[in-house]
Chains A and B, each alone.
Chain A
């Protein structure tokens, strides 16, 4: 079985500081990490590899040359191969251009049974790229996967909704996007780190190498225009302090929760 995992290198927003004057993210000096949901996507692919015979996991990414580090980490976690699509022409790609470019890499790889993406990235938070890749490749997709079972060519997934879940079945080949509830990602192994950095473990390709028309990627291929970015207005919330003994407070709290039909 061939599994492809799409990975994005993102700034670690957990470490982010906000410019107190402008209210924007200070990007300088932020460490780069594998997008957290993508880590769950990779873990699921590796779990399948651990449990089944003959599974090959290929991690792919689009990004600047330094995104290679994210792929080294993927190799150190256990991916068999890694491909980085990198070129100046790709800079400024929106989600459509990104999914176009990654689909070209996937067609270039050719054989695949499963494609995993993370649900969404912590920098853009769009959750577009996975579904768009599935559309480009004309294959089924299951998004927000929290649990996954594989029975032959059949995939049974628990797909998260805001207030419940679907159990969805589909046949391979298909694309899945991983929610963080799907699993607990493993760490890269120390041996894997030293192997990952050696020589030519990562294949570097350009749009040309993967038959990707450069007019469909980068700024030129990106119909999205960011008009403005701003922090969301903070909704004022009513704060009510309960008074009395702990038992009385608990009683009042329960009563209020009942009134609000929360319990």
Chain B
């Protein structure tokens, strides 16, 4: 019989292609067991609207369709305004016989309304029991069934509105696909059910709202809220708040876009709270039929209509990118155009020919001065603690200051505001755990901790795949070279925490802290007994134990209070503390035996200590003056206390500097939109008074974006930038240059500055982005420290070893990104040049240390069911270095000779080109039973291979002088390194 009904169903669909309306219809033909008249009714009287809930009501025994309609009370409720009702008669004898007809009827109507899966059933006949429903598997056909035994209770609106609300209860949900779906044809945005179809009641009003994550209630910064069919829109601030100054009517549709979440259409209605309109976005990757939100999300955004050279990335993205042991936010940014990728040993970003110290790193508002873990292979930031990361590659706004090149702003998670959550990752390198603890509905917290470990697998992999060596042949006399090996070993840990209190809908207070420490041990053992006859020691043997022990870390904390005063004014104030320390103890013990077997021990050492404390206050105020004008202003003050001590050979100080000073200032910038939002420009000025030089520094800034068409945007920016706290490079030819933080004093270490000129063009469609950006930077009063030039022994003051120079950086970046689709990713190429001019090194310009001419990056992501595949390939011109080039001997007055060494021209040599491929695959772990369409995502199992083809990339060359011989050591980056990651979470 069921087959017969299906045949009839197909025939009926054909007949049903006419417009439906509120009237009585006939289902099947006379003689069929399911022959009866039923009635359709839509409260909004729009019968042709697709994607709407269906409510089927089966009357009491003996009721005809029109009687069921008349007795029904649901249709008058506002919650069912957009539902379509089907009124089904109930036979007086054996009402249960009607049950087998309900599913085909629902399919008929739902099929006409395409994708209407939200179907609900209300049965009024008391003789029908739940067991009767099971016979026809009606629980599968209807989302919710209401029987007479609970007919007194009302339908809960929540159950009717959105199947997606499962996420609210369960966290991330994975929807098992029933059939293959062509993602390329998915709509640009998802939709939320419209609940109101009446006329507008209010026009041209202000709407203030907050964007938050549906499952955790975390506020979402950086979301774009656009008013459909207009040019107006807003971007949510750090606390997720936004204000639309002029919403045309209260039936307008908003489009909400944010990284890591599906874009969404939100329909306003007269009932929404215009002072605090809450929009909740789902984090799941939903690309399936049968759910309300059908769209593809972006995880990386290279363009931003309000900022030039900004890249925003959701930490969620990090999971699917290959990693060497830890998903790492800074490492992932190095895959972006304009940010150098050839520095495995630096998590600090080399942005557009700038150095990492020229990149301002803000973590919840406090400055982080050192972002490296484990020789820089990992960043100091635990991605489990992060919510949002933005890098401004240059020409950044007046709101930020104190750095010459760029800004990286990291916002930490506030923690799940609804339910307790716990999770963690275990990789071959580290253990990473977090807990999210809400207390009531006003307080949330998150604590994350991770620590590296040298487990069995770590050792095995490292020993098997990672070797460093050099292969120079020894030479006679001064200049003979021997080889040795060095391998990097160490551990690190970090702890993050954030406690957020929302006393009311306007205020947010949060306390954030970070503590991380590294202990590094990079020791080298050299055995000279194996050297050839050309060695300079005449057959004598020696051994050299070089202890290289470094301990460094950061501690930072900020307390932030932000308030949405009203729809126009938002403020954000914070006090913060940041402490960076670095203690380096490098001592060399040399045991030398002569031909008689006598052993002499010589011990030398370098002791280097850097200690920086930063106490800051800042306050930002945003004032929305209208749809075309927004004013942003603020003030800031910082007190610095910086100590640096450097001792060479023994504990006597070569350089000791201890400076304390304060700076304070203010900024003002405006966001102006003209020509219906097509032209957007941001003039601004920043003024700083710096106590150590007792001078004022003014930094004018200007940026614009000009939408030439819907797809084509021209953008540019320029500005002046000053940097008072500098990380000075201490040149060291032998063991690699090091850096230390010092305050500019206006004398030996001048206040450095830069001028930026940036222009770019982007062409963006729904699927693709092509972008070209060109930059030119001039840098003034850069400082380096070198002990290479001491012409007045004993009389040279420490300040004479600081050298001042200039620099330029210029380049062009090309990017092609496929934003959505099963295979997505990007290709980028950067042609760049960074030059320095320090007269002490050379009379002419020379390539700066960070100069990289060509850099090519390929990032490909592929999603197949529960698998996420990714592959990256990086190619970069080799980095520059300076090396010992030769030697000579001078006869002294006492008859002895002095061996002297010469070096190449500054940065006269390049290491071999750097290239590397990484791959990874993640498999989603789900709770529940196989075959369930909706299953909760509880983590993933990831496998990645770093440096897939085991390319030997040289980190740096180290030279050691033993008597008259130079020992050259290639310190290499890591070779092929597989990694397994198990990530689990409660919700």
Q: Do A and B bind each other?
A: no
By a beta-carbon cutoff of 8 Å, the part of chain B in contact with chain A is: none
Interface residues of A (CB under 8 A from B): none
